[in-house]
């Protein structure tokens, strides 16, 4: 269970967000400029809220009153960025393995095989990120985040940079991920059609405020 209750001011933009996300896929839904990425960055620890608290299960990640701010590298929250952000100097295999190596976890061959299989990325392992298509790159980015065995997976518009055909290529993998992996997800998007296929809960964000929380009915 993720509990977010934050206030953040960035220049003229003020954000107040309070919601909880349990199992399944929680959609952060709203027009661009609503503050969706800001919220996700605060959950990941890349941006520090002005006030409030963020907790994941029984771990407090941020609390201004208690002066708690766990750095990103100790949060174990997977983050799939809009642009993938694969490391250009590493092969696909090394990209996938990066999180495990950095956090010093033992290599779990069964888990690796499961994720490679889930995302169908076996044939890509020895390539360089530059040699991948946009859709392949996003699948690797998802795999890389999963390999670190995250407690929560954040996906920030993971399909936004892809054309319609590529989007349809990725969505089945995300659905599989939702149904097979136990990790809860927060999925940011402004596209209702995309979210209808993936989300289980919806948090609607508009102009820096949460305007509705509910089921996927909110997407209509």
Partner 1 sequence: MLELSPAEWTAVLLSLRIALVATTCALPFGVAIGWLLARKEFWGKILVDGIVHLPLVLPPVVTGYLLLISFGRKGPIGAFLADYFDIVFSFRWTGAALSCGIMGFPLLVRPVRLALEAIDRRLEDAAGTLGANPLLVFLTVTLPLALPGIVAGAVLCFARALGEFGATITFVSNIPGETQTISAAIYSLLQVPGGEAPAARLVLIAIVIALAALIASEWFARRAGLRFHGE
Note the residues at the interface with partner 1 (CB under 8 A).
Answer: 44-46, 71-79, 81, 83, 85, 87-89, 98-99, 102-103, 127-131, 144-145, 148
Maximum CA extent, the chain: 49
Smallest gap from residue 211 Cβ to partner 1 (A): 28
Judge whether 49 and 70 are in contact, CB under 8 Å. no
Smallest gap from residue 214 Cβ to partner 1 (A): 29
First CA to last CA across the chain, in angstroms? 26
Judge whether 28 and 37 are in contact, CB under 8 Å. no
Beta bridge pairs of residue 3: 20, 55
State which residue, 92 or 210, has the beta carbon closest to partner 1: 92
Residue 78, helix vs strand vs coil: strand
In the DSSP assignment, the letter for residue 1 is -
Look-up of token digits 């029984």: 58
State which residue, 81 or 173, has the beta carbon closest to partner 1: 81
State which residue, 85 or 168, has the beta carbon closest to partner 1: 85
Smallest gap from residue 220 Cβ to partner 1 (A): 33
Smallest gap from residue 11 Cβ to partner 1 (A): 19
State which residue, 88 or 217, has the beta carbon closest to partner 1: 88
Judge whether 84 and 137 are in contact, CB under 8 Å. yes
């Amino acid at each position: 269970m993720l509990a977010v209750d934050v206030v953040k001011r960035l220049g003229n933009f003020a954000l107040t967000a309070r919601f909880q996300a349990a199992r399944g896929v929680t959609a952060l839904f709203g027009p661009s400029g609503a503050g969706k990425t800001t919220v996700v960055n605060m959950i990941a620890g890349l941006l520090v809220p002005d006030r409030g608290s963020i907790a994941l299960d029984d771990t407090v990640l941020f609390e201004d009153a208690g002066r708690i701010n766990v750095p990103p590298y100790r949060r174990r929250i997977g983050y799939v960025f809009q642009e993938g952000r694969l490391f250009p100097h590493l092969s696909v295999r090394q990209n996938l393995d990066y999180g495990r190596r950095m956090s010093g976890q033992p290599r779990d061959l069964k888990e690796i095989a499961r994720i490679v299989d889930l995302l169908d990325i076996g044939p890509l392992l020895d390539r360089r990120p530059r040699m991948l298509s946009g859709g392949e790159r996003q699948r690797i980015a998802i795999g890389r985040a999963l390999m670190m065995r995250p407690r929560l997976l954040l996906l920030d518009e993971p399909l936004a940079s892809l054309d319609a055909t590529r989007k349809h290529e990725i969505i089945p993998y995300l659905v599989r991920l939702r149904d097979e992996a136990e990790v809860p997800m927060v999925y940011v998007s402004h596209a209702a059609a995309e979210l209808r296929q993936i989300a289980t809960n919806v948090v609607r964000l508009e102009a820096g405020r949460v305007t509705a929380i509910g089921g996927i009915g909110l997407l209509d």
